Every structure is written in C-alpha cells, then in structure tokens.
C-alpha cells in the first residue's frame, strides 16, 4: 500500500515537471520555426506578404504573393509594397536562351542569302555600259558624314558582337582568357564610340534627309520590287529601298542611342526593368541594323556596277543615273533620261 502511494506521488511529480518544461519550451519552439513573414517584418497587417505560415497556404502561393502573384514580364508595373519581381529571371532567360542563342545567326543568314543571290544573278551591270560622262551626286561633306558613320558603326558592331556573343562564339575556340581580354577591350571601345554614334547619326540625318521622304513614285517601286518584276522602275534621288534603309538607320539608331545611354548611365532610370528592357532592345536593334547593312554594302559594292562611285568620288556615270535614278537625272541635267545613251569609248 505504501509502495502504491509512493508510485502515484512520483507520477504526479513527473507530470508537474513535464508541464513546467512544456510551458518554457513552447515560446522557444515557436521562435525557432519563424514564419517567413517575420523575416521581412510585414507587421502592418497587409495581406501582401507571406503572413500565413501555419500550413493552410502553400509555399508557392506565399512566394507568388510575395512577388506579385504571377510571373511579371519586363513591362508589368510593380505593385506598391511589392518586394520582388520575376522580370530579372525573364530577362536572363530572353538574353541567354533567345538573344545569345539565335540572334547572332541573323547576319550570317543574310550573308548566305546574298552569296546565293550573287551566284545566281551576278552583279547588276549598267546595261548601256559606262558613258564616261559623270554628274555630281554627293557633296564632300555628305560623303564624309557617310563614311564617318560607317566607320563608327563598324567599330560598334564588332565590339558589340564580341560583348554579346564572345562567350558562345569566341571562348569555346580561343579559350576563356582570350575571350575575357577581347571582351573587356571591346567594352572600353564600345563605351567610347557609343556617344560618338549619336553625333554621327545627327550628322547623317542632316546631310541625307532631303530626298528621303516617301513619295507616290515609291509605290510603283514596291509593286515591281525594285525592278525584279515588271521591268524598269523610275526613281528620284533615292529609291524606296534606299529611303527605307535611311529611315531604318535613323529610327533604329535612335532606339540604340537611347538604350545605350541608359546602360551607360544606369542612374538615369529608377526602375531596374528599364535597364533590362534596354539591353534587350539594344541588342535586337543593333543586330537588325548589322544584318540589313550587309545588304546595303552588297548593293553599294559588288551587287551594282557604278554605285560605289557616288560615295567615293561624289559623281556617278550618266548611264548609271539614267538607269537607276531617271527622274533625278532629268531634274539635275534638264535632259530626258530616255535619250539613247552614249557608250564610253574604249581605245
Ligand atoms: C562600310 C560599308 C558601306 C558601303 C560600301 C556603303 C555604300 C554606300 C553607297 C555606295 C551609297 C550611295 C548610294 C547611292 O548613290 O544611291 C550609300 C548611301 C548611304 N549609306 Fe552607306 N555604305 C556603307 C556603310 C554604311 C553604314 C554603316 C551606314 C549607316 C549605319 C550607311 C548608311 C547610308 C545611308 C543613310 C545612305 C544614303 C542612302 C539614303 O539616304 O537613302 N552606310 N552607302
């Protein structure tokens, strides 16, 4: 009997001890499983953050809510009080999986098409042959503006492509160290010549805008695809293709300039997503210009006989002018472009 009373008393003592332990342990245990809400001090009672950590809301929902509820794209507005956006992940994905992987192919595809075209069709000759007589086409200052832009653009194109594609196009072949040296040198050069591009763009615009406004005569050029279908097509100083190139250079050039300035001076924008968007637009715009530039260089050199004279000497052969810019020829000389063309005498 005495033993039984002793045992019951011991059980009671143990029970009291356990209750006391539980009373002390509970707050400590509660602190050690801190809900994520504590980590960000969301104590303003708002429902924006992960305030329910007790188990009836999933982690995914908590974090989705924390960063805006749905994957944000580069342009979605940030909600007030929102701490995270997913735009950084999306930006990285666009840059790594699309721009780095595919964009670099565009200029190569254009080069391939031009090479094929040259093999099939060959250079576009002056059909009446050179007359030996020339007429002025571009002033010295217009030509200097053109070649200044060409030089700056080519430097920016080469350095920009190295920065963008060095890791996939240089590192695997020349090694990481060579890529690192080339990329950092390119970065310096690109940052230096970037602002000069803006100056070159303004100068090019001033020198070439006259004569580059679209006119009715351009509609015929479009329908005949510049003479590929339906025979000869008339044009003034610049044809539809040249005008499109001019406006593409100016408009895409403005986009590249603005986004370039934002990247050079990131403090200009408050929202980091303008910076992310700038890198994407800058790369797409630049690669588009570089690709079309190959077409421009092709027509200006081996693709069309007599073209390069205008930019090198400032003068073109009369027969070239009659064939490609008949209305401009008539305007400048006051003569009819359909008069039989004289051929250069070769002795
Ligand atoms: C480096 C190679 C280049 C060559 C061989 C070249 C050649 C030429 C030639 C021959 C013309 C005169 C066409 C005519 O008389 O109708 C011309 C015009 C022009 N080029 Fe270039 N060019 C080059 C680079 C560039 C670059 C890099 C740009 C700009 C990014 C550019 C923009 C222009 C513009 C805006 C015109 C005037 C056409 C118009 O206003 O419609 N060129 N080029």
One of 1.20.950.20, 3.30.390.50, 1.10.490.10, 3.90.1150.10 is the CATH number of 87-138+209-333, namely 1.20.950.20
Q: Report percent pLDDT > 70 for the chain.
A: 74
Atom of ligand 1 nearest to the CA of 308: 10
pLDDT of residue 55: 64
Rounded average pLDDT over 42-71: 59
Please tell me the distance from the alpha carbon of residue 41 to that of residue 209, in angstroms, as a whole number: 59
Q: Shortest CA distance to 300 belongs to which of 161, 183, 146, 174? A: 146
Residues 6 or more apart from 73 whose CB is under 8 A from it?
87, 90
Q: Shortest CA distance to 236 belongs to which of 249, 263, 217? A: 217
In our burial notation (b when 16+ CB lie closer than 10 A, e otherwise), range 297-328 reads ebbbeebbbbbebbbeeebbbbbbbbbbbbeb
Q: Whose CA is nearest to atom 26 of ligand 1?
A: 150
At 325, the pLDDT band (50, 70, 90 cuts) reads: very high
Q: DSSP letter at 14?
A: H
pLDDT of residue 27: 47
Query: Is the distance from CB of 343 to CB of 128 less than 8 angstroms?
Result: yes
Q: Distance between alpha carbon 30 and the CA centroid of its chain, in Å?
A: 52
28-32: which pairs have CB atoms within 8 A and are 24 or more residues apart?
none
In the predicted structure, residue 19 carries a pLDDT above the cut 80: no
Query: Is the distance from CB of 244 to CB of 214 less than 8 angstroms?
Result: no
Q: DSSP letter at 337?
A: T
pLDDT of residue 93: 87
Rounded average pLDDT over 266-271: 89
At 120, the pLDDT band (50, 70, 90 cuts) reads: very high
Q: How far is the CA of 117 from the centre of ligand 1 (A)?
A: 20
Q: Whose CA is nearest to atom 20 of ligand 1?
A: 146
Q: Which of 14-23, 164-173, 175-184, 265-274 has the lowest mean pLDDT?
A: 14-23
In the predicted structure, residue 196 carries a pLDDT above the cut 80: yes
The residue ranking higher by pLDDT, 26 or 243, is 243
pLDDT of residue 306: 96
The β-bridge partners of 304 are: 124
Ligand 1 pocket, residues with Cβ under 6 angstroms: 137, 146, 149-150, 153, 204, 208, 212, 238, 242-243, 245-246, 249, 293, 296-297, 300-301, 307-308, 310-311
pLDDT digits (tens, 9 = 90+) for 146-157: 999 999 999 999
Q: How far is the CA of 148 from the centre of ligand 1 (A)?
A: 11
Please tell me the distance from the alpha carbon of residue 303 to that of residue 122, in angstroms, as a whole number: 7
Query: Is the distance from CB of 36 to CB of 50 less than 8 angstroms?
Result: yes
Atom of ligand 1 nearest to the CA of 246: 35
Q: Shortest CA distance to 139 belongs to which of 207, 236, 203, 205? A: 207
């Amino acid at each position: 009997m005495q033993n039984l009373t002793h045992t019951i008393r011991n059980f009671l003592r143990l029970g009291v001890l356990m209750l006391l332990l539980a009373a002390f342990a509970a707050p400590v245990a509660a602190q050690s499983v801190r809900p994520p809400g504590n980590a960000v001090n969301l104590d303003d009672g708002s429902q924006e953050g992960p305030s329910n950590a007790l188990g009836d809301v999933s982690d995914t929902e908590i974090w989705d809510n924390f960063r805006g509820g749905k994957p944000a794209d580069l342009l979605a507005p940030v909600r007030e009080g929102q701490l995270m956006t997913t735009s950084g992940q999306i930006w990285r994905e666009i840059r790594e999986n699309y721009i780095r992987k595919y964009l670099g192919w565009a200029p190569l595809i254009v080069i391939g098409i031009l090479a094929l075209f040259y093999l099939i069709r060959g250079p576009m000759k002056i059909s009446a042959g050179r007359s030996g007589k020339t007429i002025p086409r571009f002033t010295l200052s217009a030509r200097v503006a053109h070649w200044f832009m060409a030089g700056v653009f080519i430097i920016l194109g080469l350095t920009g492509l190295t920065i963008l594609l060095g890791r996939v196009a240089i590192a695997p072949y020349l090694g990481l160290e060579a890529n690192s040296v080339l990329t950092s040198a390119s970065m310096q050069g690109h940052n230096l010549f970037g602002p000069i591009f803006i100056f070159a763009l303004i100068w090019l615009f001033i020198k070439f805008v006259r004569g580059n406004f679209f006119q009715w005569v351009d509609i015929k050029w479009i329908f005949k695809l510049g003479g590929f279908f339906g025979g000869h097509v008339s044009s003034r100083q610049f044809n539809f293709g040249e005008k499109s190139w001019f406006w593409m250079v100016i408009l895409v050039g403005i986009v590249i300039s603005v986004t370039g300035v934002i990247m050079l001076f990131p403090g200009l924008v408050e929202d980091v997503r303008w910076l992310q968007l700038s890198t994407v637009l800058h790369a797409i715009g630049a690669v588009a210009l570089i690709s079309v530039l190959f077409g421009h260089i092709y027509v200006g050199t081996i693709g069309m006989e007599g073209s390069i004279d205008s930019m090198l000497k400032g003068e073109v052969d009369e027969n070239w002018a009659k064939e490609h810019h008949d209305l401009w020829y008539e305007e400048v000389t006051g003569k009819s472009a359909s008069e039989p063309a004289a051929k250069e005498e070769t002795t």
